[in-house]
Amino acid sequence: MDQVVCLRCMICGREYDPENVPYTCPSCGPEGILDVIYDYSLIARRFTKERLLSNRDLSIWRYLELLPLEPKKLRLPLHVGWTPLYQAEELGRDVGCPHLLVKDDGRNPTASFKDRASSIGVAKAIELGHQAITCASTGNAASSLSGVSASVGLRSFIFVPHNAPKAKVAQLLMYGAKVFLVQGTYDQAFDLCLEASREFGWYSRNTAFNPYLSEGKKTGALEICEQLGWRAPDTVFVSVGDGCIIGGLWKGFHDLLQLGFIDHMPRLVGVQAEGCQPIKHAFETCQAVKTVQPETMADSIAVGHPRDALKALRALRDSDGFMVAVSDQQILDAMGLLARKTGIFGEPAGVTGFAGLLKALSQERVDPSERVVVVVTGNGLKDVDSALRASPEPTEIEPSLEAVARELRGRS
Ligand SMILES: *Cc1c(COP(=O)(O)O)cnc(C)c1O
Ligand SMILES: [Zn+2]
């Protein structure tokens, strides 16, 4: 892993050899999350645009030189990443953002952005010789981890809040994870999982606590730039829970800037639910993050105690970005609009970035000339109950053509 110089604490700045420190800063404790620091001049010699052009691996592994892994030991069978980046012109014109692009990460193997991080977590667990891996999750990190683990025969131990949507729990069970439905919140499940991983020696794929996950999530940014021919977008909208995705996207853009692949840092806009906006609050008041009681049906971003806030806040400040909060109703409306206009069906948290764009447009915080990427982070089939709340009732009819005709007349 000579491409990695060290792991640097986001609080105190102390630097560590990755061999000696598996998770967080020994002097700051679990809050002292670590940032992977790279040797960009070494990477620049191995990783060029020309080489990428001839690389036929259309998955996150095409960026292996920029990832904190031992390349020799690596091979994961599931196809993760290189998800489509659609030009959404008609929708863009309708909403006053003609240069709109939508990255559909619901197309990953377990149907969320989390597969990018889980792949790195599982690769790392194998590299370090672990037989079992664990995480706590609002749902998607869990289903993702259990799926990626299943693909390589790693045991997974999963802690999810008891109210996680059924489809996500079904995924866990199908992938053969040992599932603990915790009678409590995601935040409580997280703390329990950390204790269990220490006690039983499982490798921990816990957001922020594990320093490598945001490195997996950064592949989303690498792809966006490569898919745009290395012309970085102006602005990127994404939903925020723990803050790992937005922090990871920043890291990807940062890497490409350091390597001279792109010429500017896109402005990063994070979107939270009105009923759970601790990162927005911390960003706007410049105060420490305060834990809140989450109140939103967007379960994947119902995170009252965000673990990756430091990286999220760095992303927002360094990119001159901002935060937006949207109501559950705005999320449901955005879900239907996106699906009807683009054919992309996202879960509530999956479309929260898009809901945030609509709100930012209405507040004139985005100029119509901007090239905007909206990241859809999870597939709508993961939470069918919410989708049905966003939809009109279907029309029930008797099985006759006359009934169809009658309905059509009634509607016209
Ligand atoms: C996890 C998740 C998010 C939020 O990502 P964070 O890294 O926790 O900020 C958003 N949308 C979906 C669908 C997710 O699963
Ligand atoms: Zn520290």
CATH number at residue 235: 3.40.50.1100
Within a domain: 114:
no
| Domain span holding position 356 | 85-108+213-389
Instruction: Give Cβ neighbours of residue 218 (< 8 Å, ≥ 6 apart).
Output: 66, 248, 249, 250, 251, 252, 255
Within a domain: 308:
yes
Backbone angles phi, psi at 223, to 5 degrees: -65, -45
Among 113, 172, 210, 218, say which to mutate for ligand 1: greatest number of ligand atoms within 8 Å of CB: 113
Provide the 3-class DSSP secondary structure of residue 308. coil
Query: Which of 117, 118, 125, 120 is CA-nearest to residue 202?
Result: 125
Instruction: Report how far apart the first and last C-alpha atoms of the chain are (Å, whole number).
Output: 65
Atom nearest to 349 CA in ligand 1: 11
pLDDT of residue 138: 87
Find the residues whose C-beta lies inside 6 A of ligand 1: 112-114, 140, 207, 239-245, 300-301, 347, 349-350, 377-378
* pLDDT per residue as tens digits for the range 222-245: 999 999 999 999 999 999 999 999
Above 70 in pLDDT, residue 152? yes
Instruction: Give Cβ neighbours of residue 324 (< 8 Å, ≥ 6 apart).
Output: 269, 270, 271, 272, 280, 356, 359, 360, 365
- Alpha-carbon radius of gyration of the chain: 21
Above 70 in pLDDT, residue 411? no
* pLDDT per residue as tens digits for the range 50-70: 999 999 999 999 999 999 998
Span 129-138, mean pLDDT? 94
Atom nearest to 270 CA in ligand 1: 9
Within a domain: 265:
yes
- A 10 A CB-CB count for 398 gives 8
**278's torsion region: left (phi>0), alpha (psi -120 to 50) or beta?**
alpha
Atom nearest to 139 CA in ligand 1: 15
How much distance in Å is there from the Cα of 310 to the middle of ligand 2? Answer: 12
Above 70 in pLDDT, residue 80? yes
Within a domain: 146:
no
Above 60 in pLDDT, residue 92? yes
How much distance in Å is there from the Cα of 372 to the middle of ligand 1? Answer: 19
pLDDT of residue 71: 80
Look at ligand 1, atom 4, and give the residue with the nearest C-alpha: 241
Count structural domains, the chain.
Answer: 1
pLDDT of residue 390: 84
pTM of the full structure: 0.97
Within a domain: 356:
yes
How much distance in Å is there from the Cα of 195 to the middle of ligand 2? Answer: 20
Atom nearest to 137 CA in ligand 1: 1
- DSSP state, residue 402: H
Within a domain: 362:
yes
Look at ligand 1, atom 1, and give the residue with the nearest C-alpha: 300
pLDDT of residue 412: 52
* pLDDT per residue as tens digits for the range 269-289: 999 999 999 999 999 999 999
Within a domain: 395:
no
pLDDT of residue 397: 94
Q: Whole-angstrom Cα distance, residue 224 to residue 220?
A: 6
Confidence category of residue 75, pLDDT binned at 50, 70, 90: confident
Ligand number nearest to the C-alpha of 26: 2
Within a domain: 318:
yes
Query: Which of 299, 297, 324, 301 is CA-nearest to residue 390?
Result: 297
* pLDDT per residue as tens digits for the range 191-210: 999 999 999 999 999 999 99
Sheet holding 235-239, edge to edge: 85-87, 100-104, 372-376, 235-239, 267-273, 322-326
Above 80 in pLDDT, residue 146? yes
Confidence category of residue 255, pLDDT binned at 50, 70, 90: very high
Query: Which of 151, 117, 152 is CA-nearest to residue 137?
Result: 117
